Structure 1
Amino acid sequence: MKSLEPCMSPRPARCMLAFTSAAAAALIITGCAGLKDQYAASADAQQRMAAEAAADTKAGASVDTQATYLKLVDQMQKEDLWFASLAHIDALEQRWGVSPESTRTRAEALRQTGQAAPAEAAYKRLLGTPLASAGYRGLGLLAGTRGNYAEAVQLLMQAQRRTPTDALLLSDLGYAQLRAGQIEEARLPLMQALQLRPDSTQAQANLALYLEVTNQRDQATALMDANRMSEATRMAVREAALQMRAPGGLAAPVAATAASIRGEPIVTPLALKPSRWAGVGGMRTAIQTNPPASNAEATFSPNSIPRGTP
């Protein structure tokens, strides 16, 4: 049996080689373990980053989607920010393309900003879509603005056949029938509108107008009392009814204190108002009509044709 000889000076090369090999092996083992730990840490970090990115994407998608953007545009239009909404509709369509929903909002904004010709073209593009009712309604409102109430009735009836429970559409139809001389026909849609939307000031005023025109003044007064209509609104309703009862009054424009009763768009000074939608598309100001100084000064015209949805 051979004895193990220590590494001594007579064989320095062999000893050096042995130590070098052992050290290298140790370094390799240590290095492999270190790299393994680094790879594991890197993989964990990547997984965390991927999870965070997925969460951010999901959170962003809940806000930054076509449907959500359309809701924002609808809300702006409810607040009468019609000019600003047109800018956001441009941004929406640049990102997601043109859709029936974006066309509807564009048509409404064009009509409300006095651009009748492009509004009419936009409404007509809706006729072959699931939003055909909105197209017919918009065309009916434009016809009413021109004073062509017989045409308005036909178009609004087309819309009503497609969406029979739309209270504001029924109110528009009833008013157009009143102005077209179809007094008895107006009763049904006006009653339906008020029962479907008893809180609608437009439906209340239009039914009160019908009652005044048909000489049911006690019922008209009771309706206005029950809904606490302002004196200005009552005067507008009664003046419109008086002129509609006059010879030729149904066909002629109704001149009254409120410009909207004449079938004309209300033109008031424009003011720059800070927009609530600064974070959407970078729009920081919006042109909007000046609001009334108080609720008591605000008049609700019985004419729902020029302005459409209240």
Structure 2
Amino acid sequence: MKRSVGPALGRVWKPAACLLLAALSGCTAGNNGATAMHEQAEAQVELAKLRDKTARAEYSEQAVYLGLIRKMQQDGLYFASLAHIEVYVQRFGAGPEIQAMRADALRETGQDKAATEAYQKLAASAKGAEAAHAHHGLGLLAGRQDDFARAVTELREAAALDPVNARIASDLGYALMRAGALQDARVPVMQALELDARNPRVISNAAVWLMADGKRAQANAMMQKAALPEATRSAIRKEADRIARATATRDRAAARSGQPKPMSAPATAVAVVAKPIAVAAQEGATP
């Protein structure tokens, strides 16, 4: 007798069909999930690109604005730069570089008290070159007030923080000369000259030092080689005479107190000055 296999086979296929449908349904759900994850990832990538593009545009705008303010100050437009600095800070914040520019603008517009506070704040928060810039500014303010002892202190601090800055070294040398410490000024003056032999301010300070130290022939030769205009040479001679008098006063005070007189630097020690100046003149340095 033959057995009927139809119902049994049907019972077998029903669970199998259900499993197959479930599997197919699972695959469809899995595909949909993968598609959603892929779309989400693409959206995140596009959002990141948009943010990066926005950040680049903002950075570019910030850099351009900072350059504009710097150019204003190079052209002597310090009052105008102050107004733009306020706008810059409102938009981009107050970083060390813009703080330094603001302090410089305050100093150059005769706002000494505000400039002092700005430099002191920068010196307390900044490091490296920015901190050196702050002490340099404080030294310049002290020199403007004829407080050359304090100027020397601030400029020494600046030079320690930024040893290869020719302007700082030159200003330190000048402050030492004005304080009557002519021989102490020799090293920073010479360093500045060798670091930046094209800088007219550096050249002038070196000529002042030579002339104040009695080396007038060398000073005159240096000014001639650097092609300094006669008005500048006349100012250098007057400044050298004033410094020589201040040095003599200090030497007399030291003699009365029993302190030894500082030794004058030998001619060979300053011979290195003439070479950088000559090179600068040959290469077209302008005052």
Give your verdict on TM over 0.5.
yes
The structure-2 alpha-carbon separation of the partners of 1:187 and 1:148, relative to structure 1 and needing over 3 Å to count, comes to same
Instruction: Quote the offset at 1:127 in angstroms.
Output: 1.3
The 8 Å contact of residues 181 and 247 in structure 2, kept in 1 or not, is answered as: no
Residues 1:64 and 2:71 aligned together: no
**Deviation at 1:102?**
1.4
Q: Give the conservation status (yes or no) of the 8 Å contact 2:148–2:175.
A: yes
Equivalence for 2:165: 166
C-alpha RMSD of matched pairs (Å)? 2.7
Count residues in correspondence.
204
One-letter amino acid matched to 1:63: S
The separation in 1 between residues aligned to 2:147 and 2:249, in whole angstroms, is 11
Equivalents in 2 of 1:58, 1:138: separation in Å? 33
1:68 Cα deviation (Å)?
Answer: 3.3
Change (3 A) 1:249 1:141: farther
Q: Do 2:179 and 2:246's aligned partners in 1 also have CA atoms closer than 8 Å?
A: no
* TM-aligned CA distance change 1:247 to 1:62, over 3 Å: closer
Distance 1:231 1:250 in 2: 29
Deviations 1:178-231, CA, capped at 9 Å, x for gaps:
001111111111111111111100000000000110010111011101110000
Identity of aligned residues (%): 40
Q: Once the 2 structures are TM-superposed, how far is the Cα of residue 250 of structure 1 from its aligned partner?
A: 7.2
1:164 match: secondary structure: coil
Farther off after superposition, 184-193 or 127-136: 127-136
1:99 and 1:222, CA in 2 relative to 1: closer, same or farther beyond 3 A? same
CA distance in 1 between partners of 2:123 and 2:51 (Å): 40
Using the alignment, how far apart are the partners of 1:104 and 1:220 within structure 2? 35
Pairing 1:1-310 to 2, within 5 Å after superposition: 60-61=57-58, 63-65=60-62, 67-128=63-124, 129-130=126-127, 131-246=130-245
Shift of 1:63: 3.3
Contact 1:209–1:237, Cα closer than 8 Å, also in 2: yes
| Residue 97 (structure 1) shift | 1.6
Q: How far does the alpha carbon of each residue in 1:100-121 deviate from its partner, in whole angstroms, 9 at most, with x for none? A: 2111100000000000000000
Deviation at 1:71, TM superposition (A): 2.3
Distance (whole Å) between structure 2 residues aligned to residue 250 and residue 84 of structure 1 = 43
Per-residue deviation, 1:59: 7.5
Please tell me whether the aligned partners of residues 110 and 118 of structure 1 are also in contact (alpha carbons under 8 angstroms): yes
Relative to structure 1, the CA distance from residue 55 to residue 240 in structure 2 (aligned partners, 3 Å threshold; closer, same or farther) is same
Q: Which runs of 5+ in 1 are unaligned?
A: 1-49, 252-298, 301-310
Q: CA deviation at 1:99?
A: 1.8
Unaligned ranges ≥5, structure 2: 1-46, 251-285
Flag the structure with more relative contact order, 1 or 2, with Cα contacts below 8 A and sequence separation at least 6: 1
Note the C-alpha offset of 1:58.
7.6
CA distances 1:157-188 after superposition (whole Å, capped 9, x unpaired) = 00100000000010100000000111111111
Q: Distance in 2 between matches of 1:77 and 1:248?
A: 35
Q: Distance in 1 between matches of 2:87 and 2:249?
A: 43
SS of equivalent to 1:198? coil
SS at structure 2 position matched to 1:246: helix
Query: C-alpha displacement at 1:249, in angstroms?
Result: 8.0
